């Protein structure tokens, strides 16, 4: 039973355009959501997070939107840059940012120059 779903395995966008990465979850106990970015042969690195009491969090070019009623969150990257090409994982926790994380399967973003 996959509690965090990233249904699109890949996304390709043009440099300078917006990248929208989607994530759905099924467990209503999740109260914290994080996005990680992963390059090959490296561990995931933290990108941005959002608490369930908010519906938007912004950090530079990255914005995460949370729709609790739809159990859906999305990561927007504007403008997209070639260096953003990586695998992006959505993760959720039922007890804040520093407890067990449940990950989606990831989405591979390719930003074309």
Partner 1 sequence: KAGVTQTPRYLIKTRGQQVTLSCSPISGHRSVSWYQQTPGQGLQFLFEYFSETQRNKGNFPGRFSGRQFSNSRSEMNVSTLELGDSALYLCASSSGTGMRGYTFGSGTRLTVV
Binding stretches for partner 1 (CB under 8 A): 6, 32, 34, 36, 41-46, 49, 51, 89, 91, 93, 97-106
- Residue carrying structure tokens 């959002």: 50
Cβ distance to partner 1 smaller for residue 15 or 61: 61
CB of 15 to partner 1, least distance (A): 27
Of the candidates 40, 62, 65, 61, the residue with the CA atom closest to the CA atom of residue 52? 65
CB of 31 to partner 1, least distance (A): 12
Q: How many CB atoms lie within 10 A of CB 1?
A: 4
Torsion on CA atoms 106, 94, 29, 34, rounded to nearest 10: -40
Cβ distance to partner 1 smaller for residue 27 or 51: 51
Cβ distance to partner 1 smaller for residue 56 or 105: 105
CB of 86 to partner 1, least distance (A): 14
Cβ distance to partner 1 smaller for residue 86 or 91: 91
82 bridge partner residues: none
Record the tokens describing residue 66, joined without a space.
Answer: 């949370």
């Amino acid at each position: 039973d996959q509690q965090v779903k990233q249904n699109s395995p890949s996304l390709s966008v043009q440099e300078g355009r917006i990248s929208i990465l989607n994530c759905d979850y099924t467990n209503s106990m999740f109260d914290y959501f994080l996005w990680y970015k992963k390059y090959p042969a490296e561990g995931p690195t933290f990108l941005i997070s959002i608490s369930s009491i908010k519906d938007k969090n912004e950090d530079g070019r990255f914005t995460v939107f949370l729709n609790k009623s739809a159990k859906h969150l999305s990561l927007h990257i504007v403008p997209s840059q070639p260096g953003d090409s990586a695998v992006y994982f959505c993760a959720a926790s039922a007890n804040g940012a520093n407890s067990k994380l449940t990950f989606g399967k990831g989405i591979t973003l390719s930003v074309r120059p």
